[in-house]
Amino acid sequence: MSKTKVVEFEKHHSVAPKFTYRGTTIERVQSFRYLGLELHSTKGMAVAIAKLTTAGKKALFALRRRCNDLSITNSEIMCQLFDSLVCPVLSYACEVWTGCTRAKGLQQAEQVHRMFLRGILGVNKTTSTFVVLGEFGRYPLKYFWWQQTLKYYDRLRKSTADRLLYCAYQTQIQMLSMLNDNQQCWLRNV
């Protein structure tokens, strides 16, 4: 039971009943890493996005260093490398967090993309994002994240009743009907 923890998602930390399994009390924690995603009880997905953003920056710096070592200066190749090596780090589990994250969290992760493109162009950070993206014919990563989220939602809708994810989806539908307007639910945002 040392790896089993309880995280209660709520706006403010509260005193909650203890959870037990076969007579053993399960420890309640503020945050827990599950499948590489940091889940926090009161901060929602903000902690996960911050950690993904940090990991994305590390991947970007490693990419820049390697391109520099190999004298790769072709912007098309560098963008392909970014899409292959950095974008997956920034996009990890986006199907889950895109709908749950405020715009600020998405902007932090998107900032890594803009930093990369501005670095290739050699312009400062005050240069318009639209100009920088347009120069490369690229779109903000949030469009990719929403595309992935909607594909995931469509797979949930079309899955069969014997699948665990379908049961979770049906539970979300039931929860949505019970929540008031200021309560969060993944399905409401998708």
Q: Are 189 and 100 in contact (CB under 8 A)?
A: yes
Q: Are 49 and 106 in contact (CB under 8 A)?
A: yes
The helix (H) or strand (E) run that includes residue 177 is helix 164-178
- Between 74 and 42, where is the model more confident? 74
Q: What is the pLDDT of residues 95-150, one digit of tens each?
A: 888 877 666 678 888 999 999 999 999 999 899 999 999 999 999 999 999 999 99
> Domain residues of the chain, as ranges?
1-43, 44-142
Closest listed residue to residue 91, CA positions, set 46, 48, 145: 145
Q: What pLDDT does 103 receive? A: 60
Distance from the Cα of residue 3 to its chain's centroid: 23
Taking the model in full, what pTM does it have?
Answer: 0.81
DSSP tag of 93: T
